Amino acid sequence: MLILYILLALISLILCLLAVACIRTLLMPTKKASYKPSPDPKREQEYAQKLSRMVQMETISYADHCDVEKFRKFHALLQELFPRVFAQLEKIDLDGNLLLKWKGKSSENPILLMSHMDVVEASGTWSHASFSGDIADGKVWGRGAGDTKCSVMAFYQAVEELLEQGYEPACDIYLGSSCTEEVGGDGAPKIVQWFKDHGVHLAMLSDEGGGIIEEPIGGVKGCYAMIGVFEKGVGNLRFVARSQGGHASAPKKNTPLARIGKFIAHVEKKYPFKSQFSPEVLEMFERLAPYAGFGMRLIFGNLWLFKPLLLKLMPLISAQGAAMLRTTIAFTMAKGSDGMNVIPQEASVIANLRFIPHQGAKESHQIISALAAKYGLETEIIMLGEPSKAVDIHAPAFKLTEEAIAACFPGAGCSPYVVTGATDARFYSDVCDNCIRFSPVIFGPEQMKGMHGIDETIETNCLPGAVDYYTYLIRAQERQPLKQ
């Protein structure tokens, strides 16, 4: 009888909690993300033509070498497209990585607008040639259109227009572009070293990472400015299985490839890393809740009740959502023997890991290495990089970003966001405490699919808003300069 009373009490408690959650959800004001680019044909065409020229110049970067002269030709193109910028700003060429300094009324609290000039390879069959820069169907086509020559074009254009107006910035403004971002090279570190050598500490930088995303989570429709506030660490590990090898006609159990296969299957079936909500992800769900349908609004708006459930469900619902909650591991390269009838003496698999702050590179490495050892695998470190420091979402730099978004993209939702990839901003922690990761352009499903894939594009109608965004950041320093 006591057990029955306890069960009834638990059921009553659950029903009461659900009732409270439902009432809170019904009382929650609903919102709609209504932003759409305003027609501005003249500017749209001008900016699209400039971006087209930039896309036409192939700037693929390679891990094993850097063609500095290729990137200097790109510098020359930028000088042709933005003559006032190069005539009036100090140009600093760091082995093909480009930094320009716009001297302001004060050298205190400078800001950096940055995005990389290099692109990834462009294999496969494209609807428009991969470096055509075609302007068709309201889009600029080609590798780099969205990642990230659109941003480079936009902040150069913003400065070009301000110079034409005779504008003098309140603080020093820097424009930065590395030529090794896509290969994780030393371009950005060289720019950072220049800042260190010249005693410059930035009040804020604005890089890629987030963007204006259409439907950032399934069921949350419209355009949302997702502001990257930190990025996960990156690592590559090699798992090695050894044996005496032998002829494939008489195989023993637990050959190297079999052990690697069992290890991979274990990781896929029972993920070894812990899911946990960071304050920034909690803020993201709370901000997106008013825009969702009742079911998602009920869960996102009442995480005090549904947080444990969402931690379990998110990996089943969305790989991108799950990546914001935990360290991830993806097996990317494998090697066995060189002969089809030879059991390898050594087999290996390489995995790419993205480390979450609550289980950083060191702890994640220990967890996965211990698991690999249970299958007789050795773990070799190729590279480990810790997660970046999070931007304070209550600090002036984040507030300024929100303010600029509200002014330039009225009606768009706005939320902090975890960058699950890697950007150049991760190298800047020694010279900047406020590394904002946000590209002020619209990334719909087509653009997301084309990034690093086939048929990369960017909608031309979002380019004026991107220029306006960078203009706003620069001019905002007149009213209230950011503090370091």
pLDDT in tens, 216-266: 887 888 999 999 999 999 999 999 999 998 888 888 889 999 999 999 999
| Nearest alpha-carbon partner for 211 in 146, 121, 152 | 146
Structural domain including 371 reads 233-384
Q: Is residue 331 part of a domain?
A: yes
CB-based contact 404:230 (threshold 8 Å): no
Q: Is the dihedral of CA 286, 288, 291, 296 positive or negative?
A: negative
Q: Which residues on neighbouring strands pair with residue 16, listed in sequence order?
A: none
pLDDT of residue 158: 98
- Residue 41 three-state SS: helix
Q: Record the tokens describing residue 5, joined without a space.
A: 């009373």
User: Is residue 1 predicted with pLDDT exceeding 80?
Assistant: no
User: Is residue 37 predicted with pLDDT exceeding 70?
Assistant: yes
Q: How far apart are CA 465 and CA 153, in angstroms?
A: 12
Q: How far apart are CA 283 and CA 418, in angstroms?
A: 11
pLDDT of residue 7: 74
Same domain, 135 and 75: yes
Same domain, 254 and 370: yes
pLDDT of residue 134: 97
| Nearest alpha-carbon partner for 66 in 97, 39, 92 | 97
Same domain, 190 and 64: yes
Tell me what percent of the residues of the chain surpass a pLDDT of 70. 99
Higher pLDDT, residue 394 or 321: 394
Count of domains for the chain: 2
pLDDT 10s digits, 179-215: 999 999 999 999 999 999 999 999 999 999 999 999 8
Question: Counting beta carbons within 10 angstroms of the beta carbon of residue 205, is it exposed (0 to 12), middle (13 to 18) or buried (19 or more)?
Answer: buried
Higher pLDDT, residue 249 or 77: 77
User: Is residue 20 predicted with pLDDT exceeding 90?
Assistant: no
Among 330, 350, 384, identify where a domain stops. 384
**DSSP strand E in 221-261: where?**
223-231, 233-242, 246-247
Q: Record the tokens describing residue 189, joined without a space.
A: 């570190």
Among 346, 368, 384, identify where a domain stops. 384
Same domain, 393 and 310: no
Q: Is residue 363 part of a domain?
A: yes
CB-based contact 424:116 (threshold 8 Å): yes
User: Is residue 124 predicted with pLDDT exceeding 90?
Assistant: yes
pLDDT band at 16 (very low <50, low <70, confident <90, very high): confident
Same domain, 373 and 392: no
Question: Which of 47-51, 247-251, 272-276, 327-331 has the weakest average pLDDT?
Answer: 247-251
Same domain, 358 and 348: yes
Q: Is residue 22 part of a domain?
A: no
Q: Is residue 95 part of a domain?
A: yes
> Could you tell me the CATH number of the domain that includes residue 455?
3.40.630.10
Same domain, 356 and 402: no
Q: How far apart are CA 206 and CA 195, in angstroms?
A: 16
User: Chain-wide mean pLDDT for the chain?
Assistant: 94
Q: Is residue 12 part of a domain?
A: no
pLDDT of residue 18: 84
Q: Is residue 51 part of a domain?
A: yes
pLDDT of residue 484: 63
pLDDT of residue 251: 87
Q: Is residue 124 part of a domain?
A: yes
Q: Is residue 19 part of a domain?
A: no
Question: DSSP labels for 199-230?
Answer: T--BSEEEEEEEEEEESSSTT--SEEEEEEEE
User: Is residue 69 predicted with pLDDT exceeding 80?
Assistant: yes
Same domain, 149 and 251: no
Q: How far apart are CA 252 and CA 278, in angstroms?
A: 47
> Could you tell me the CATH number of the domain that includes residue 348?
3.30.70.360
Strands 328-335 and 204-214: unpaired
Between the ranges 222-236, 293-307, 311-325, where is the mean pLDDT highest?
222-236
User: Is residue 280 predicted with pLDDT exceeding 70?
Assistant: yes
Same domain, 332 and 474: no
Q: Span 309-332, mean pLDDT?
A: 88
Same domain, 458 and 348: no
Q: Span 21-35, mean pLDDT?
A: 90
pLDDT 10s digits, 143-168: 999 999 999 999 999 999 999 999 99
Same domain, 370 and 463: no
Among 384, 402, 431, identify where a domain stops. 384
CB-based contact 349:333 (threshold 8 Å): yes
Same domain, 73 and 90: yes
Q: CA dist 397 to 134, 205, 206, 228, Å?
A: 36, 9, 10, 12
